[in-house]
Amino acid sequence: MKVLVTGANGYIGKYVVRSLLKRGMDVVAADVDLSNVEEGAEKLQLDIFQESERLFALAGQPDALLHLAWRDGFMHNADSHMLNLSDHYRLLSNLINDGIPQVAVMGSMHEVGYWEGCIDEHTPCNPLSLYGIAKDALRRALFQSTKGKDVVVQWLRGYYIIGDDQRSSSIFGKIARAAAEGKTEFPFTTGQNQYDFITVEELGEQIAAVIAQREISGIINCCSGKPMKLADQVNQFIQEHGYPIQLRYGAFPDRPYDSPCVWGDPTKIREILGKN
């Protein structure tokens, strides 16, 4: 099976590529920079949006697309989310029209907006950031445009990712950078919100497992299925890595669009992992 992975050099991408290769798949890694991509992958260095009309042929007519590429993912109200939306839709449309049989796209719990409790594939969406609005719009457009078409569509809804990659703009990446810079204090929120956390390594394994099958499609939560307080998870991360950092609680306000407690329904991903 040949899988085209866009955004392969990104924070999530390198772990997904590694997991796909471990499963014996042929991986075509596409990005403008490929310096962090595993050597076992075929590397396609280009701007995917400029080459979207030729991408299917350039990638050797792959069996599946995993679309991870997204600018400013941690800057939730950056204008780029809306400005690039049509580019994402055009890319997906071109690959589907060229005959790719399977399309998986990385989504986000921020499509849902404010929600308390478990999120499943039927949870209504009312996004409260430009990032969430763009992801929600792309998902709706993708499902609408593929009705009646012979293509498997999988929307991979992500939650809160744990990883010590200093390139990441997540709170965990920021703490890793702060520790590397010798800082001993980190400004923080109250930390009382509870989220669904998953390590970037486990997320890579879950995404690879989804791609490896076509029986289960639609919205698939890539998650742990268990809520945990942000403060507890961050302190655990600090302790596991031995960082000499103390959190300065209340330095930043909690974001108004973050729920006090939210997590993903893991039913589909557990079924997929069980089959794999």
Q: What is the pLDDT of residues 64-105, one digit of tens each?
A: 999 999 998 878 899 999 999 999 999 999 999 999 999 999
Q: Decide: 243 and 175 in contact? Cβ < 8 Å.
A: yes
Give the single-character DSSP code of 106: E
Question: How far apart (Å, rounded) are the C-alpha atoms in residues 63 and 218?
Answer: 18
Helix, coil or strand: residue 219: strand
Q: What is the mean pLDDT of the chain?
A: 94
Rg over alpha carbons for the chain, rounded to the nearest Å, is 18
Domain with CATH 3.40.50.720 in the chain: 2-161+197-225+265-275
One-letter amino acid at 138 equals L
Question: How far apart (Å, rounded) are the C-alpha atoms in residues 264 and 144?
Answer: 24
The token duo for 165 is 């990659």
pLDDT of 112 above 80: yes
Q: Mean per-residue pLDDT for 36-59? A: 94
Q: Decide: 3 and 62 in contact? Cβ < 8 Å.
A: yes
Question: How far apart (Å, rounded) are the C-alpha atoms in residues 120 and 126?
Answer: 14
CATH of domain 2-161+197-225+265-275: 3.40.50.720
On whether the pTM is more than 0.85, the answer is yes
One-letter amino acid at 97 equals N
Catalytic residues: 131
pLDDT computed for residue 193 by the predictor: 92
pLDDT of 276 above 70: no
Q: Tens digits of per-residue pLDDT, 231-253?
A: 999 999 999 999 999 999 988 88
How far does Cα 222 stand from its chain's mean position?
Answer: 9
Q: Mean per-residue pLDDT for 187-200? A: 93
Phi, psi (rounded to 5 degrees) for 264:
-95, 145
Helix, coil or strand: residue 21: helix
Cα end-to-end distance, the chain, whole Å: 15
- Give kind and range of the element (H or E) at residue 194: strand 194-199
